[in-house]
Amino acid sequence: MKNLKQKYCIVGVGNTAYGKNPGISQIAHNVLAIRSALEDAGLTTQDLDGVLTKAPTSTFPMLWGPKIAEALRIQPKVTATLDQAGASNIGLIQYAISAIELGQAEVIAISYGDNPRTGTRASYARPRGDDALAGLFGAPSSYAMVAKRHMHEYGTTNEQLANVAIAHRTHASMNPGAQFQELFTVDDYMSSRWVAEPFRLLDCCPVSDGGAAYIITTEEKAKELKKLPVYIEGIGQAHPSWDFYRRPELATSGAKIAGKMAFKSAGLRPADIDFCEIYDCFTIVPLISLEEYGFVDKGEGGSFYEEQRTHIGGELPCNTSGGLLSETGMPGTQLVVEAVRQLRGEGQDRQVKGAEVGLVSQQGGIMTTHATMLLSNQGIHK
Beta-bridge mates of residue 218: 8
Q: Which long-range contacts (CB under 8 A, 24 or more apart) does 376-381 make?
A: 376/230, 376/231, 376/233, 376/343, 377/228, 377/229, 377/230, 377/231, 377/343, 377/344, 378/231, 380/228, 380/343, 380/344, 380/345, 380/356, 381/345, 381/354, 381/355, 381/356
Question: Residue 198 or 322: which CB sits closer to other proteins?
Answer: 198
CB within 8 Å of 50: residues ≥ 6 apart: 76, 77, 78, 79, 96, 99, 100, 104, 105, 107, 108, 109
Least distance (Å) from other proteins to the CB of residue 149?
4
Identify which range of 135-143, 269-277, 302-310, 319-327 contacts other proteins by CB under 8 A. 135-143
Q: Should residue 269 be labelled a site residue for other proteins when binding is judged by CB under 8 A? A: no
Q: Is 375 helix (H, G, I), strand (E, B) or coil?
A: strand
Q: Should residue 131 be labelled a site residue for other proteins when binding is judged by CB under 8 A? A: yes
51 and 34 Cβ atoms separated by less than 8 Å: yes
Question: Residue 5 or 246: which CB sits closer to other proteins?
Answer: 246
User: In the set 129, 271, 379, 382, which binds other proteins (CB under 8 A)?
Assistant: 129
Question: Residue 148 or 168: which CB sits closer to other proteins?
Answer: 148
Using alpha carbons, select from 51, 55, 9 the residue that is nearest to residue 31.
51
Question: Residue 146 or 373: which CB sits closer to other proteins?
Answer: 146
Question: Residue 243 or 272: which CB sits closer to other proteins?
Answer: 243
In angstroms, rounded to a whole number, what is the distance separating the alpha carbons of residues 96 and 262?
17
Q: Should residue 194 be labelled a site residue for other proteins when binding is judged by CB under 8 A? A: yes
Question: Residue 198 or 302: which CB sits closer to other proteins?
Answer: 198
In angstroms, rounded to a whole number, what is the distance separating the alpha carbons of residues 24 and 8?
32
Distance of CA 148 to the CA centre of its chain: 24
Question: Residue 68 or 284: which CB sits closer to other proteins?
Answer: 284
Angle between helices 284-293 and 138-154 (to 10 degrees): 50
Q: For residues 140-169, which are near other proteins according to CB under 8 A? A: 140-141, 144-146, 148-149, 152
Q: Should residue 193 be labelled a site residue for other proteins when binding is judged by CB under 8 A? A: yes
Identify which range of 68-76, 132-140, 167-175, 295-303 contacts other proteins by CB under 8 A. 132-140
User: In the set 17, 45, 67, 137, which binds other proteins (CB under 8 A)?
Assistant: 137
CA neighbours within 13 Å on the CB side: how many for 78? 25
Question: Residue 174 or 195: which CB sits closer to other proteins?
Answer: 195
Segments of 316-381 assigned E as strands: 357-364, 369-376
Q: For residues 317-356, which are near other proteins according to CB under 8 A? A: none
Q: For residues 30-59, which are near other proteins according to CB under 8 A? A: none
Q: Should residue 102 be labelled a site residue for other proteins when binding is judged by CB under 8 A? A: no
Q: Is 96 helix (H, G, I), strand (E, B) or coil?
A: helix
User: In the set 66, 101, 118, 138, which binds other proteins (CB under 8 A)?
Assistant: 138
Site size with other proteins, rule: CB under 8 A = 30
- Per CB under 8 A, residues contacting other proteins are 125, 127, 129-138, 140-141, 144-146, 148-149, 152, 193-199, 245-246, 250
